[in-house]
Structure 1
Amino acid sequence: MSFIQYLVFNGKDIPMPDSYDVGLSDVEAASGGQTEAGTTQRDIVRTGVADISVSFSVSPAWVKKLTEYSKMPKIAVKYFDTGTLDLKDAEMYITGFKAKLKKDTSYKGLWSVSFTLKEM
């Protein structure tokens, strides 16, 4: 039985996440807003912009790799799209990066890493 590959960063497979939460939003132009009649006018520039929150339980080697990705200004990401149930390409960046020691071991511990990927 094979698992779904949820994330690929710059062509490299990322470990299976503990949690994977995809949100899609629209980007609106500044010209939108409320009219004098009180109705809302939306001028949508882009639809379906992804915002993905993930968390992992990883080894120290993966903490180091994920920390390096978090410092990059942009990453070529393939993510599991819940609408098509397939991998989708996007250019993203990482925000809200957190690394927390879960358990101390003789191999520098088991780490919990969480962050949010935002589509550019």
Structure 2
Amino acid sequence: MKNSAIMLLGLLVLAGCSNLTLTTNISPEEALKTSKVEEYSMAEIGRYKADYLGKVSTSMCRTRSTQPKPTESLLVGNLKYKAQKLGANGIVVMECVDHKINNDCPEFLRCDALAYRVDFDAL
């Protein structure tokens, strides 16, 4: 009886999620490339021969409950994507701020990072 209830609950959860979609502007190929962009602290990046390539920023505003909630992990993924487009293979996240911009944006998150090209051959 207990196993049947668990199985039924699992099927209901799966059926409820069948219409769930996540829209992104990153293709699967580009997402794979961003997995090669590592996140470092400022102290860690200082231990490597790394060239600074620029600052990258991203933000997300949630205006409807059907939209994904802005999270640091979502935004860091976007920062890695933007850094990879600059030729970077590493980022240092400087800050993520979740202040409200205005009444049109009840849930907001902005993250900034520094993009680096780390030369692992120089180690």
Q: TM-score, normalised by structure 2?
A: 0.34
Greater relative contact order, per chain length (Cα 8 Å cut-off, separation 6+): 2
Larger Rg: 2
